[in-house]
Each structure stands twice: as C-alpha cells, then as structure tokens.
Structure 1
Amino acid sequence: MFPIRDHNPSRRTPYVTLVLIAINVGVFIATVPVLYGPPAVQQRFFLDWALIPARIEMGDGGYTLLTSMFLHGGLLHIAGNMLFLWIFGDNLEDQMGHLGFLLFYLACGVGAGLTHVMFAQGSTIPTVGASGAIAGVMGGYLLFFPRARVDVLLIFFIFIQIVAVPAWFMLGIWFLLQLLNGAVADPNMGGVAYWAHAGGFVFGVLFALPAWLARGGPRFWRISHGHPMHAETVLGRYRYSDVPIVRRRRR
C-alpha cells in the first residue's frame, strides 16, 4: 500500500516544501559520484556526514543530526521520500506558515535521529535519509487532517488498484508497521531505521499539537470535518489494471 497523492492540494504555494525537495534532490545529484565511486571514498564521506549512533553517544558529530537528513543512499530512497514529503507537506505548511513548517520539519528530523540513537546504542552503521523528518510531517498531517482522502496504490500479485482511503487509516497502518518492524529488526545489522520513523512520527504529533490547539483543537476538527479547509480537487477515477487473458487455442 503506497500513497501517490492526496485530494486536497494546498491553496498557497508551499515554498518551503518545494525548497526542501530541491535541496534534497540537489544534494543527491551532487553525491552521486560518491555513492557510485570507490568504496573508500564512500566510506569516508558517510563517516563524516551520516548519523552514527556510537559517535553521537561519544559527544561527537552533533551536526550529523542535520546533515544526515539531506543525504540518501539511492534513487529509490530519495524518490520515495520526496513523494511522501510532497503529498503530506503542502497542507501542513499551509497551516503552520513557511517558517513554522521549516522549524517543525527540522525539529522532527532531529527528534527522529535521537530516537534512532536511543534504540541503536553503540551502532557504528551510518544512517542517512529524510524519512525521519518526513515521518514527523506525516504525524502532523494525521493530527490536523485525519479524514483527508489519500490515493494509495494496492499491489497484490497481479491485482493492482488505486483506492482512496482516509489519512488516519493509511498513516495508522504505516505507523503500526514501523513499530512492528522495529520490534523485530536488529538496528546493528543496518537496513531501515524503523525506530527513527516511529520517533519522527510521534515527535510530529507532539510538535504540531500547539498549532492544532491554537486553532481550537477538537473544535478545529468539527469545523473542518478532519479535512483541509478548502474543497477537494476533482480527480479522475481509476479502474482495475487490465491484465490480458490468453486463451488456449482449440485444434
């Protein structure tokens, strides 16, 4: 189940969301020679700029809590992260304002990084990616717009369908999967930093709480019905994928 768009693009241009996407893409392009270069160069680069829990525990490399948020390990890594940021970032920026959203995003990223350090104590594996900060954006989105509709791509063998589901359903399942995977995965073995995702999500809810309460809290939900405060965009309908049926010839 993979989100591809929501039904309520923001009314105003989300400048900060666009700039964050541009910075992430620009940094990725600049680091492509490192990612696909000699292993020694790649190792030195990530030792300097990626988040390494053991290094943070020693009181060194605090700046990597920020720099690691703008580094990615491959094309699919950054493509997925930027898609999630675009889907969920614009409406939240619309509510928080440009500067407020930028500070919120960075704070969520730092919170996610510290959560990873707590659950991966002693790990020397470099960690990179914007997903912790974006998880915070998803948590804030859930608080503000729990009933907003999100189109998700469902793939089950040859069955492919795009369906609209409420944000609370999609984000709730996503958060639960981070907790479940985090409980069974060994953070010292590398792979996905599930606890960074979960921590970023929780920090996102907490950091968005003051802005939500300032708008009336539960009263904001009653007024908005859990949707962004403007009409949905009319989107086309999707059908099941057309899988050709090849029939046996009769002789």
Structure 2
Amino acid sequence: MPVLYWVQARDPALIQAYGFIPASLLHGGWWPGVLTSMFLHANWAHVGMNALGALAFAPPVARVMKGGAGVVGFLLFYMVCGVLAAAGYGLVHPDSGATLVGASGAVFGLIGAGLRLLRVKDGRPRRLTDRRFLVPAGVLMAVNAATGLAGLVPGAGDLQVAWEAHAVGFVAGALLIGPWLRLFGAKPAPFDSRADLGDAPG
C-alpha cells in the first residue's frame, strides 16, 4: 500500500482516472473503478490505517488457505470483498459524484473473516450465530457507523468516510469465508447443514 500511494502521490490525476464514482454504476462511466479504487488512497493516514488493519487480520485468513492455490484464493477473496464494498456503497449513494478510493472495504472483509476464524483450532470458521463472532462484530459495526457519521476517523480531515463500504466489506468477508474455504481451505471442510452457509460449529 505505501509503495502504491507513493506512486499515486506523484500523479494526483490517478484518483480521478481510477477512483470509483458511484454515479458511474447507473449512468455509465468508469465502472471498473470498483476494482481499481482499492489501490488508491486519500493520504498517508488513510494508507497507514488500512495497512495496519491488513497486517492484523490478513494472517489468520491467509493461514487457513492451502499452498499456491491458497495464495490465489486469498488475493481473490481480498479483491472480491473490496469490489463488493465499493459496489455496495455505490448502490447506497447511486447519484453521488464523489470519488471513492481506498482498500478499507477489502480490509474490512479480512476483519469479518478474521473474527470468524479467531481462536479456532481446526481452521473452520465459527457459525454466524456464535456469540464469539456476533458480539465483536456488533461492537465494530456500531463504532464504524458512529465514527463515520460523526467524521471522527483519524486523518480523515474534511474527507467523507465511506462507512457503508466498510460495513458491506465486513459482511461480505464474514459470509464468504465459509464457502471460500471449501475451494481454497487448508483442510477440506465437510458440509454441515446445521451451520450457516455450510460453516462448522465453532
């Protein structure tokens, strides 16, 4: 992230060229911005916060992926969460002409997945209904909404915080990690019809 931002900072036009403008979803324009926007950031504080989040929650997710296919699976998981987060934000603000940038949605996807994998012994995510997931998830989403609406995010300055993108990314990560591990997991997880989305009891 820091290297990409260093390159971006040398050419500010990249934000307008590759950022995501929600109105583009319905009115034409650069819709691939749902993907390219996650490689751009508003400032160094934005980069730092996302980098710290990724460093904290990428390891538990990457650890349950297997071999070379797992590396591909992890990268796809990260990008899919980011794309869904941006697209979700666009659907909430379909007429917005503001430019969305940042990997926060993808990072929140890692957080959603990471919370379901926290302190599990068999590499299989906790159920979505498990209190050990629901409580921290609820607290995090409440803080996310409160800080976003109040503009209390460090380093944001006058910039609008896309807390809705964070929430969509988090939900995407939490929902997708179970099915994703069936494809890329370090251990094959047998189907459990009692668990949410085929997840095993935590």
In the TM superposition, 1:128-147 aligns within 5 A as: 128-145=101-118
The corresponding residue for 2:36 is 67
Does the 8 A contact of 2:60 with 2:117 survive in 1?
no
The number of residues matched between the two structures is 169
Give the direction of change, closer, same or farther, for the CA distance of 1:183–1:119 in structure 2 (3 Å limit).
farther
Distance in 1 between the 2:133 and 2:49 partners?
18
Is 2:25–2:94's contact at 8 Å kept on the other side of the alignment? Answer: no
How far apart in 2 are the matches of 1:87 and 1:107? 19
Question: Residue 107 of structure 2: SS of its match in structure 1?
Answer: helix
Q: Which residue of 44, 55, 59 corresponds with 1:86?
A: 55
Gap change, CA 1:46 and 1:211, over 3 Å in 2: closer
Q: How does 1:107-126 map to 2 (within 5 A)?
A: 107-126=80-99
1:177 to 143, 147, 152: 143
Partner of 2:22: 53
Which amino acid in structure 2 is aligned with residue 60 of structure 1?
A: G
Any idea what the Cα deviations from partners look like across 1:19-65, whole Å, max 9, x if unmatched?
xxxxx22210112233xxxxxxx4x4322111100122223212211
- Structure 1 residue 167: Cα displacement: 7.5
AA of the residue aligned to 1:102: L
- Opposite residue 218 of structure 1, the aligned amino acid is A
CA distance in 1, matches of 2:35, 2:200: 33
Structure showing greater radius of gyration is 1
- Taking a change above 3 Å as real, the CA distance of residues 72 and 26 of structure 1, as seen in their structure-2 partners, is same
- Mapped partners of 2:147, 2:189: distance in 1: 35
Give the superposition deviation at 1:168: 6.3
Aligned 1:181-196 pairs, distance under 5 A: 191-196=160-165
3-state SS of paired residue (2:10)? helix
Gaps of 5+ in 1: 1-23, 35-41, 149-165, 222-251
Counterpart residue number, 1:99: 72
C-alpha distance 25-121 of structure 1, shift in aligned 2 (>3 A): same
1:145-182 deviations in Å (ceiling 9; x for gaps)? 2679xxxxxxxxxxxxxxxxx88655542222234566
How far apart are residue 121 of structure 1 and its match? 1.5
Residue identity over aligned pairs, in percent, reads 30
Amino acid at match of 2:89: H
Alignment TM-score, normalising by the size of structure 2: 0.73
Equivalent-residue separation in structure 1 for 2:181 and 2:36 (angstroms)? 29
Task: Kindly provide the amino acid, as one letter, of the partner of residue 189 in structure 2.
Answer: R
Cα-Cα RMSD = 2.7
Distance 2:31 2:119 in 1: 34
Q: 1:69, 1:128 within 8 Å by CA — same for their partners in 2?
A: yes
